[in-house]
Amino acid sequence: MRITNVEGIVVSIPIRKTTTRANKTVKSREYVITRVRTNEGVTAQDARQAAVSY
């Protein structure tokens, strides 16, 4: 089995209540969905919260 494709998708999801910290207002959360496909047709995916830089 060999990996034939890796795809990264960034998704921004609005949050109900905004949060303010120091000089930044957070209105949404960003997530990265990673999909990995193989030559045998197997697809795996995972979602993680993206790193935040202030």
The predicted model scores a pTM of 0.66
Sequence-separated (6 or more) residues with CB below 8 Å from residue 17: none
How far CA 4 is from CA of 8, 16, 34, 38, 52, in Å, comes to 14, 38, 14, 5, 30
Q: Tell me what the pLDDT averaged over the chain comes to.
A: 88
Domain spans in the chain, listed from the N-terminal domain onward? 1-25
Q: 1-22: per-residue pLDDT in tens?
A: 999 999 999 999 998 998 888 8
